[in-house]
Chains A and B, each alone.
Chain A
Amino acid sequence: MGLHTEKNLPVKAAASKRAVWRKRVRDNKFAYMLMVPTIIFMLLVHLLPMIQGFWMSFLKLNQFTLGKYLKAPFVGIDNYVGLLFNSDNPVRQGLNFAIRNTAIYAVIVTIGVMVMGLMMAMLLNRDFPGRSIARTAMLLPWVVPSYVVGVLWGFMWQQNGIINYFLVDVLHLYAEKPFWLLGPNTIWAIIIPTIWRGWPFLMVIFLAGLQTIPEDIYEAATIDGAGKFRQFWNMTLPMLKPVIAVQLLFQIINNVYSYNIVSTMFGNGAGYPGEWGDLLMTALTRQSFGYWSFGSGSAASIMLMFAMLMIVGVWYRAFRTELNTQ
Chain B
Amino acid sequence: MKKTAVSISALLMAFSVVVSGCGGNSNSTNAANNGGVKEESSATTAPATSKAPSMEPVTLNAWVMPNSPKPDADFLKTIDPYLKEHPNVSVKVTVLDWGSAWTKITTAATSGEGPDLLQLGSTWVPAIASMGGIDKVTDKVADVGGAEAFLPAIWKTTSIAGDSEVYGVPWFVDARAIYYRTDVFKQAGVDTATAFKDWDSFKSALQAVNGQTVDGKKIAALGLPGKNDWNVVHNIFPWIWAAGGDVLSEDNKNVTFNEDKGLDGVMYYTGLAAEGLVDKASLEKNSSQIEGDFGDGKSAVIISGPWLAKNFATPKANGGMDDKKAAKNFAVAPLPAGPGGQATFVGGSELTVFSGSKNKEATWELIKYLTADEAQKAYAAVSGQLPARLSLLESPDLDANMKAFSEATKYGRTYPAIPQWGPTETALQKHFANVWDIVAGVKGKYSRESVKEELDSAAAEVKAIINQ
A–B contact at 8 Å CB threshold (below): yes
Q: How far is the CA of A269 from the CA of B103 in the complex (A)?
A: 10
**Any A CB within 8 A of the CB of B227:** yes
Establish whether residues B465 and A90, one from each chain, have CB atoms under 8 Å apart when the complex forms: yes
Contact with A along B425-468 (1 / 0, CB 8 A): 01101100110110010110000000000000100110011001
**Any A CB within 8 A of the CB of B268:** no
Q: How far is the CA of A48 from the CA of B465 in the complex (A)?
A: 31
Contact with B along A260-275 (1 / 0, CB 8 A): 0000001111111011
B110's partner among A67, A272, A286 (CB-CB below 8 A) is: A67
Q: How far is the CA of A267 from the CA of B98 in the complex (A)?
A: 10
**Any A CB within 8 A of the CB of B283:** yes
**Any A CB within 8 A of the CB of B323:** no
Contact with A along B117-139 (1 / 0, CB 8 A): 00000000001001110000000
- Stretch from A15-23, A130-138, A176-184, A209-217 at the B interface: A176-184
Establish whether residues B130 and A275, one from each chain, have CB atoms under 8 Å apart when the complex forms: no
> Which single residue of chain B is at the shortest CB-CB distance from A86?
B464
**Any B CB within 8 A of the CB of A233:** no
Interface residue count on the B side (C-beta < 8 Å): 46
> Which single residue of chain A is at the shortest CB-CB distance from B127?
A63
Chain A residues in 8 Å Cβ range of B203: none
B464's partner among A88, A180, A268, A275 (CB-CB below 8 A) is: A88
Establish whether residues B281 and A66, one from each chain, have CB atoms under 8 Å apart when the complex forms: no
Establish whether residues B230 and A67, one from each chain, have CB atoms under 8 Å apart when the complex forms: no
Q: How far is the CA of A270 from the CA of B232 in the complex (A)?
A: 11
Closest chain-A Cβ to B384's Cβ sits at a distance in Å of 21
**Any B CB within 8 A of the CB of A291:** yes
Establish whether residues B228 and A179, one from each chain, have CB atoms under 8 Å apart when the complex forms: no
Chain A residues in 8 Å Cβ range of B419: 63-64
**Any B CB within 8 A of the CB of A292:** yes
Q: How far is the CA of A179 from the CA of B284 in the complex (A)?
A: 8
Establish whether residues A88 and B460, one from each chain, have CB atoms under 8 Å apart when the complex forms: yes
Contact with B along A170-198 (1 / 0, CB 8 A): 00000001011111110000000000000
**Any A CB within 8 A of the CB of B286:** yes
Closest chain-A Cβ to B66's Cβ sits at a distance in Å of 11
Establish whether residues A90 and B464, one from each chain, have CB atoms under 8 Å apart when the complex forms: yes
**Any A CB within 8 A of the CB of B422:** yes
Establish whether residues B106 and A292, one from each chain, have CB atoms under 8 Å apart when the complex forms: yes
Chain B residues in 8 Å Cβ range of A180: 284
Interface SS, A side: loop
Establish whether residues B465 and A182, one from each chain, have CB atoms under 8 Å apart when the complex forms: no
- Contacts A160-B281, A292-B423: A267 and B430 contacting too (C-beta < 8 A)? no
Chain A residues in 8 Å Cβ range of B360: none
Chain A residues in 8 Å Cβ range of B281: 158-160, 177
Q: How far is the CA of A106 from the CA of B283 in the complex (A)?
A: 28
**Any B CB within 8 A of the CB of A94:** yes
How many A-B contacts if CB must be within 8 Å?
113
Establish whether residues B97 and A268, one from each chain, have CB atoms under 8 Å apart when the complex forms: yes
**Any A CB within 8 A of the CB of B229:** yes
Chain B residues in 8 Å Cβ range of A183: 437, 440, 442-443
> Which single residue of chain A is at the shortest CB-CB distance from B457?
A93
**Any A CB within 8 A of the CB of B285:** yes
Establish whether residues B103 and A289, one from each chain, have CB atoms under 8 Å apart when the complex forms: yes
Interface residues of A in 184-242 (CB under 8 A from B): 184-185
Q: How far is the CA of A151 from the CA of B109 in the complex (A)?
A: 30
Interface residues of A in 57-87 (CB under 8 A from B): 62-64, 66-67, 69
- Contacts A67-B131, A90-B465: A158 and B110 contacting too (C-beta < 8 A)? no
Chain A residues in 8 Å Cβ range of B99: 267-270
> Which single residue of chain A is at the shortest CB-CB distance from B426?
A290
A182's partner among B110, B227, B426, B460 (CB-CB below 8 A) is: B227
Chain A residues in 8 Å Cβ range of B228: 181-182, 266-267, 271
Closest chain-A Cβ to B51's Cβ sits at a distance in Å of 38
Chain A residues in 8 Å Cβ range of B437: 182-183, 274-275
> Which single residue of chain A is at the shortest CB-CB distance from B431?
A272
Q: Which of B98, B103, B229, B423 has the most CB of A within 10 A?
A: B423
Q: How far is the CA of A275 from the CA of B110 in the complex (A)?
A: 31
Establish whether residues B98 and A90, one from each chain, have CB atoms under 8 Å apart when the complex forms: no
Q: How far is the CA of A87 from the CA of B103 in the complex (A)?
A: 27
Establish whether residues B284 and A291, one from each chain, have CB atoms under 8 Å apart when the complex forms: no
Interface residues of A in 129-179 (CB under 8 A from B): 158-160, 177, 179
> Which single residue of chain A is at the shortest CB-CB distance from B461?
A90
Establish whether residues B440 and A271, one from each chain, have CB atoms under 8 Å apart when the complex forms: no
Chain B residues in 8 Å Cβ range of A292: 106, 422-423
Establish whether residues A289 and B127, one from each chain, have CB atoms under 8 Å apart when the complex forms: no
> Which single residue of chain A is at the shortest CB-CB distance from B298?
A160
Closest chain-A Cβ to B132's Cβ sits at a distance in Å of 6
**Any A CB within 8 A of the CB of B102:** yes
Chain A residues in 8 Å Cβ range of B98: 268, 270
Chain B residues in 8 Å Cβ range of A266: 228
Establish whether residues B110 and A290, one from each chain, have CB atoms under 8 Å apart when the complex forms: no
Establish whether residues A274 and B433, one from each chain, have CB atoms under 8 Å apart when the complex forms: yes
> Which single residue of chain A is at the shortest CB-CB distance from B105?
A289
Q: Which 5 A-B pairs have the closest CB atoms?
A: A183-B442, A269-B99, A290-B426, A159-B281, A270-B99
Of the A-B pairs whose beta carbons lie under 8 Å apart in the complex, a sample of 12, sorted by A's number, is A63-B131, A66-B131, A90-B423, A179-B440, A182-B227, A269-B97, A270-B98, A271-B230, A271-B232, A271-B433, A274-B227, A291-B426
Given contact pairs A182-B226, A267-B230, A270-B98, a sample of 4 additional A-B residue pairs in the complex whose CB atoms are under 8 Å apart: A63-B130, A93-B461, A272-B433, A285-B103
